[in-house]
A and B are shown apart, each in its own frame.
Chain A
Amino acid sequence: MKRFFFTAASVLAAVLGAQAASAQTLKAVKDRDVLSCGVSQGLPGFSSPDDKGNWTGIDVDVCRAIAAAVLNDPNKVKFVPLSAKDRFTALQSGEIDVLSRNSTWTLSRDTSLGVNFTGVTYFDGQGFLVRKSLKVNSTLELNGASICVQTGTTNEQNIADYFNGNHMKYEVVAFGTADETIKAYENGRCDVFTSDISQLYAERLKLAVPGDHVVLPEVISKEPLGPLVRAGDDQWFDVVKWTLFAMIDAEELGITQKNVDEMAKSPKPELKRVLGTDGNLGEQLGLTKDWVVRIVKAVGNYGEVFDRNVGAGSKLGIARGLNQLWNKGGIQYAPPIR
């Protein structure tokens, strides 16, 4: 019911509210001196509060990077936890400035929701988690299985496509939140838990004996996850888009949280441009010249953010894979800052 009231309130805001949204977000954020950022209700590695209540994760760091670039303080962020179902309504209604909540970029979302995806923080795909005791080695052996899935996700439609396409039967049980879904799976209501693969790894940590469960090798969909903003505010769209690009470009240029100050003194023209000692690229965005310095100082470059939250340096230990830089075998690629 709480969820219902939230959606209803958001709708009411959309109906009655004078839209502070259009073309004014950057100014509104600066005036408010805090960034309102929509995140998940707790997905380790992407956005989840730690035992002290501090939000961490790759999606959280994107929020902090934007706050650092705009407000010069990565802590000036108000995190708004949202269910898969409520997330877009919260953005539409102006409740949040940016949604950074493992959301898949699709055409229908980009066109019909009044939102714009700004880029891809994580190239993901949908997979399946099963008990090892079932001795299943491939998704194609799942004929007749019961599948737990979170409602309001692209995953729900993907399994329908995949199972029908392979002439397999299945039973889908859809739950409102990720926690309810994994709980039902653990309880034995389903044979399979399906979600984006990164989420499978993250949710598996919540199970009593994570080692009893295995992620099947097949990836049945493309799930490019990234931050999004309301449509119709190009300036804010650019700020969010280029914050992510700056993190990726920083990794490519070897700028890290540690060496960023020394790099800023470098005579190399490319570094001077990016780090703002030459030219006024940051100001063209409506930010300051040293915006990239602020971002990297606050959260580090893309590679550092990845390692700390989901990669080798984290409990999840997910390999870079597709998310490696384009010149290192992956597909992460950002347009040049010039």
Chain B
Amino acid sequence: METGARKPPSQLGSRLRRALCGRGGWGGFALQLLFVVLLAWLGYEIYANARSNLEAQRIASGFGFLQQTAGFGVSQSIIPYTESDSYARVFLVGLANTLLVSVIGIVFATILGFAIGVGRLSSNWLVARLCGGYVELVRNLPLLFQILFWYLAVLGALPGPRQSISIFGEIFLSNRGLVVPRPIMQAGLLPFILAIVLAIVLAILLRGYARRRLFRDGTLIRIWPWNVALLLGLPVLAVLLFGAPLSFEVPELRGFNFSGGLRILPELVALAVSLTTYTAAFISENVRAGVQSVHRGQREAGASLGLSHGATLRLIVVPQALRVILPPLTNQYLNLTKNSSLAVAIGYPDLFSVFAGTTLSQTGQAIEILVITMGVYLLISLLTSAAMSAYSWRINRSLGR
């Protein structure tokens, strides 16, 4: 029999094959190294080519422009800004405005989205249908259209500042936005804040004490009246002792616009409302999917343990649903932040509008500005995503998975 005598493949051959084709070994490493080198070379080529092209075309380059005076006004800034500030400052103004509208949008979209998602699962026929109708209407219309609708059709229909709708003569609503009294710090502010902090700390300590007593000897202590008394009583006491924490500057119509007071621009409202309602429609679907992913048996188990409906939801359904909801929720947060760049259509001074818009066209340094802008959006997205991952990791850990 000659079958067993077949020679094994030569060691050198198989090693060579493994080195060149396999994923492990020095061959695989060499391939990866080659790939990285190629990538680096490509990157360098792009950089060098861009540089020489810019130089050949005599287009200014570099980041020196950031120190130049901007010289244009911005309608809304939550950090101090004047026209004589630099483009770097404009960048910060735009970034702050982008973050402002994103945070407002994320907070309200989450609240609204959860409410509608749960509402859609309601056993009440009307509530469920209304929520379903909302989702189908809002998520199927283009966002830009919705922004323009809120801005031009809804807020634009408000009367001018001279005919503005006044509430108690202190709050004014017009097509220039909502003007409210501006709070001004008084001497009593610090004691007032300290009193609130103290009340919160005491309330937490009290809760811990009640819990320990419950576990130790089964006494159920009613603490909420105490907590309410603490949370209301201490700040009131502080006001009585040290005077009012704030005074208000009431806006007044002078000339074309209101002077004094705090003005919330219609651009901000339109953008925040449209981003909120639009994103909430998507979030509600995530929530619905999450809740439905929890098996019926889990609720039944909760009920058989004697937990109330609310407690079953809070302790059993929601934690498990959150695991499913969080990853797509992160997507929605990222989408909302990026969608806020549509602001330019209605003149809201976000990062994209004042930096990648006005600053770009005034300095002409498209490459630098686009690189910075892209980097910032990327950074915001990565940070959001990291925060959400951390939260979701905590939830998974608490569920023991």
Query: Which residues on A are within 8 Å of B, measured CB to CB?
Result: 1, 3-4, 7-8, 10-11, 14-17, 19, 21-22, 84-85, 88-89, 92, 108-109, 111-114, 134, 142-146, 148, 151-153, 156-157, 159-161, 163-164, 170-176, 180-181, 183-184, 187-189, 191, 230-232
In the complex, which residues of chain B have a beta carbon less than 8 angstroms from the beta carbon of A230? 57
Q: Are A1 and B342 in contact (CB under 8 A)?
A: yes
Q: Is there an interface contact between B74 and A172, defined as CB atoms closer than 8 Å?
A: yes
Q: Are A144 and B259 in contact (CB under 8 A)?
A: yes
CB of B6 within 8 Å of the partner chain: no
Interchain CB contact under 8 A, B364 and A189:
no
- Using CB atoms, name the residue of chain A closest to B349: A174
* Contact residues of B between 52 and 81, Cβ < 8 Å to A: 53-54, 56-60, 71-75
Instruction: Give the nearest-CB partner of A94 in chain B.
Output: B57
Residues of A within 8 A of B13 (CB): none
8 contacts between A and B (CB under 8 A): A88-B364, A92-B59, A92-B366, A160-B83, A161-B71, A176-B357, A183-B152, A189-B156
Q: Could you tell me the distance in whole angstroms from the C-beta of B309 to the nearest C-beta in chain A?
A: 45
Residues of A within 8 A of B46 (CB): 15-16
**Interfacial chain B residues near A108, Cβ < 8 Å:** 362-363
> Which of A7, A172, A176, A188 is close to B366, meaning CB atoms less than 8 Å apart?
A7
What 8 A-B pairs come out closest when comparing CB atoms?
A152-B361, A114-B59, A112-B60, A114-B57, A113-B364, A187-B156, A172-B73, A160-B83
- Contact A180 B362, beta carbon cutoff 8 Å: no
Q: Does B267 contact A (CB under 8 A)?
A: yes
Our pick among B72, B345, B364 for the contact of A180 (Cβ within 8 Å) is: B345
Verify A231–B58 contact, CB threshold 8 A: yes
**Interface of B with A (CB < 8 Å)?**
46, 49-50, 53-54, 56-60, 71-75, 83, 152, 156, 160, 175-176, 254-257, 259, 266-267, 341-342, 344-347, 349, 352-354, 356-358, 360-367, 370
Min distance, Cβ B378 to any Cβ of chain A, angstroms: 14
When C-beta atoms are compared, the residue in chain A nearest to B143 turns out to be: A1
Q: Which residue of A lies closest to B83 (CB)?
A: A160
Instruction: Establish whether residues A11 and B370, one from each chain, have CB atoms under 8 Å apart when the complex forms.
Output: yes
Q: Is B57 within 8 A of A145, CB to CB?
A: no
- A157→B72 contact, CB < 8 A: yes
**Contact status A11-B367, CB under 8 Å:** yes
Expressed in whole angstroms, the minimum distance between the Cβ of B115 and any Cβ of chain A is 30
Majority SS of interface residues in chain B? helix
Taking a contact as CB atoms under 8 Å apart, the answer to whether B347 and A152 are in contact is no
Q: How far is the CA of A180 from the CA of B59 in the complex (A)?
A: 30
A113 to B354, CA, bound (A): 19
- For A157, give the chain B residue with the smallest CB separation: B71
Cβ–Cβ < 8 Å partners of B364 in chain A: 88-89, 92, 109, 112-114
Q: Is the CB of A174 within 8 A of B256?
A: no
- CB of B347 within 8 A of CB of A19, answer no
A residues in contact with B353, CB < 8 Å: 151, 174, 176
- When the two chains form their complex, are residues A145 and B156 in contact, meaning their CB atoms are under 8 A apart? no
CB atoms of B356 and A11 under 8 A apart: no
Contacting pair A21 B57 (CB below 8 A): yes
Cross-chain contact A156 with B256 (CB below 8 angstroms)? no
| CB-defined contacts of B58 to chain A, threshold 8 Å | 111, 114, 231-232
Q: Provided the pairs A14-B54, A114-B59 are in contact, do residues A144 and B72 lie with their beta carbons within 8 angstroms?
A: no
Is there an interface contact between A89 and B366, defined as CB atoms closer than 8 Å? yes
- Given the known interface contacts A144-B255, A151-B361, A173-B267, the answer about A187 and B50 at a Cβ–Cβ threshold of 8 Å is no
Cβ 8 A contact of B49, one of A8, A16, A187: A16
Given contacts A114-B58, A189-B175, contact A160 B72 (CB under 8 A): yes
* Distance of A88 Cα from B58 Cα, bound (Å): 13
Q: How far is the CA of A172 from the CA of B82 in the complex (A)?
A: 12
Contact partner of A8 (CB less than 8 A), chosen from B156, B254, B370, is B370
The answer for the CA separation of A8 and B373 in the assembled complex, in Å, is 11
Choose among A8, A113, A230, A232 the residue with the greatest number of B CB atoms under 10 Å from its CB: A113
**Which residues of chain B have C-beta atoms less than 8 A from A157's C-beta?**
71-72, 362
Q: Which of B57, B266, B358, B365 has a CB less than 8 Å from the CB of A151?
A: B358
Determine whether the beta carbon of B72 is less than 8 Å from that of A14: no
